[in-house]
Structure 1
Amino acid sequence: MFNILSYIIFLGITSYITIHVGKRCYCEGKAYLKYLLHDESFCLTINRILLGSYYLLNLGYIAISLASWEKISSMEEVVTITAVRTGNIILILCVLHYLNLLALYFLRKKITLK
């Protein structure tokens, strides 16, 4: 019973975060990519690939996270385990976002040096 409740809460929170952050990065990333690459069609293609990869990676991690859950026997554990798993998803999103920005920054430096 507690596992199902925890799954529902976890899937609700992580789905919302994943979709919201993905849409926001996709919309706001267009201008940043256009500034970096100066080719609008190429920027849109890169942006779509980044969005698809982002969704696949997050869905995969969420599925793995659900598969490795242990039995929950109290409401305290529901809150604790759900918070820790959700926090892991958020930290992964942050790290991936900054790694993408870093990679694009170095790509921009490489393009401007030519």
Structure 2
Amino acid sequence: MIIIGWLVYKNGEVFLLNLFNGNVELAKSVNKILLVGYYLTNIGYAVITIAYWQDLTSLADMISSLGTTLGRIILLLAVLHYNNIFWLKQLTKTKIQNQ
């Protein structure tokens, strides 16, 4: 998950620069905030998962539980990612219309 966060951070800067009309400082600041949010979401989900971990009696149970846990976090992060993109796009549209 660390690699994914870093890749989105590096490649997302181009998208943010486009949204913020080349404002480098704003794009970098928002990008850093999004990266911190990504890592905090991962850490929080991991802690909650460990706190409520079920008893595992076999390798098959462990693989099934791990698959379910990873699936949930990936879906959550995808929803958060597209939500962020949607709201950033809406905010920039509103800003452009008000100018």
| Structure 2 length-normalised TM | 0.91
1:106, 1:33 → 2: CA distance?
Answer: 13
**1:59 is matched with which residue?**
43
1:74-113 Cα shifts (integer Å, max 9, x gaps): 1221111111111111111111111111111101211110
Higher RCO (Cα < 8 Å, 6 or more apart) = 1
Partner of 1:22: 5
How many residues are treated as equivalent by the alignment?
97
Distance in 1 of aligned mates of 2:20 and 2:83: 18
1:75 and 1:30 map into 2 onto residues whose CA distance is 41
Flag structure 2 segments of 5+ consecutive residues without an equivalent: none
Q: CA deviation at 1:45?
A: 0.8
Q: CA–CA distance in 2 between the matches of 1:95 and 1:20?
A: 19
Identity %: 34
- In 2, the alpha carbon distance for the partners of 1:40 and 1:58 equals 27
Q: TM-score scaled by structure 1?
A: 0.80
Q: Secondary structure at the match of 1:73?
A: coil
Alignment of 1:7-18 (within 5 A): 18=1
Q: Which runs of 5+ in 1 are unaligned?
A: 1-17
Question: Which aligned segments of 4 or more residues in structure 1 are displaced greater than 3 angstroms?
Answer: none
